[in-house]
Structures are given as structure tokens and as C-alpha cells.
């Protein structure tokens, strides 16, 4: 009985490691083959290229995780506080 239980555990562990190996293989295929292929589709490619060229952290979860947000905030603040008055220069 004990030997059988031991055997069962060994089989389950082997199965578990097998699944991890399969997942790792799938991940490698996704990173190096499927993922880059998907990025070549006409709708995704321009955005994907843009993200890479501009080093945008598209994975950021909060505004402090993304550098563009601090630039945007300062720009808006300056634009609102030091806005040129168009009416002063009209003919």
C-alpha cells in the first residue's frame, strides 16, 4: 500500500514537472515565434513599433510608472498657467 502511494506521488510529481516543461516550451515559442508574428499584423504593427521606438512603458499600472505622464502633467500645468493670450495680438 505504502509503495503504491509512493509510486502515485512520484507519477503525480513527474506529471507536474511535465506540465511545467510544456508551459515553459509554450512560453518560449510565444516570446520568440508567435508573439513577434502577431506584432506583424497590419493593425498591431504600427502601435507595437511605436511603443518600441519610443520606449514607452505600456505595462505601467499607475501614472507614476510611466515617464510620459510627468511630461504631460508639467506641460498641462504650464499650458494652463502661462497660456498665451490670443486676443492681445489680434488685428
Partner 1 sequence: MNTNTQTSETSEVVIDVAKSSIRDLWTKEDYWAIWLGFLILIFGMLIFFPNPPEDMNQKISHANAIMQSESDTAPFKTIGWYKAADAKLKLKANSVGFGKKLKSYVATPHGWKTNPLDSFMMNQKTADAKNDAARPAYETAKSNTGDLLRMAQLKEAAAKSVGFKNEKLNTETTDAISAWLSAKNKASKLKKKTQNKPYNQLFPLAGLCILFILLFGIGYKIMGKNFTKFAKGFGFVFVLAITSYMLSAQATMKAYGIGYAAWAIAIGLLISNTIGTPNWVKEAVQTEYYIKTGLVLLGAEILFSKILSIGVPGIFVAWVVTPIVLISTYWFGQKIIKIPSKTLNMTISADMSVCGVSAAIATASACRAKKEELTLAVGLSLVFTSIMMIVMPAFIKATGMPYILGGAWMGGTIDATGAVAAAGAFLSEEALYTAATIKMIQNVLIGVIAFCVAFYWCARVECAPGQRVSAMEIWHRFPKFVLGFIGASIIFSTIYGSLGSDVGYTLVDQGVIRGLTKYLRGWFFCLAFVSIGLATNFRELKEYFKGGKPLILYFCGQSFNLIFTLTMAYIMFYLVFPEITARI
C-beta of residue 66 within 8 angstroms of C-beta of residue 56? yes
User: What kind and span of H or E run contains 51?
Assistant: helix 45-53
Residue 82, C-alpha cell as written in the block: 502661462
Q: How far is the CB of 5 from partner 1 (least distance, A)?
A: 16
Q: Does 47 bind partner 1 (CB under 8 A)?
A: yes
* Closest distance of CB 6 from partner 1, Å: 16
Residue 1 interacting with partner 1 (CB under 8 A): no
What distance in Å separates the CA atoms of residue 49 and residue 13, rounded to the nearest whole number?
42
Asked if 29 is part of the footprint of partner 1 (rule: CB under 8 A), the reply reads no
Nearer to partner 1, 1 or 26 (CB): 26
Amino acid at each position: 500500500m505504502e509503495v503504491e502511494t509512493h509510486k502515485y506521488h512520484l507519477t503525480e510529481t513527474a506529471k507536474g514537472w511535465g506540465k511545467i516543461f510544456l508551459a515553459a516550451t509554450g512560453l518560449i515559442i510565444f516570446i520568440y515565434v508567435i508573439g513577434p508574428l502577431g506584432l506583424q499584423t497590419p493593425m498591431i504593427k504600427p502601435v507595437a513599433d511605436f511603443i518600441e521606438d519610443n520606449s514607452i512603458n505600456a505595462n505601467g499600472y499607475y501614472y507614476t510608472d510611466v515617464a510620459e505622464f510627468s511630461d504631460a502633467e508639467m506641460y498641462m500645468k504650464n499650458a494652463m498657467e502661462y497660456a498665451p493670450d490670443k486676443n492681445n495680438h489680434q488685428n
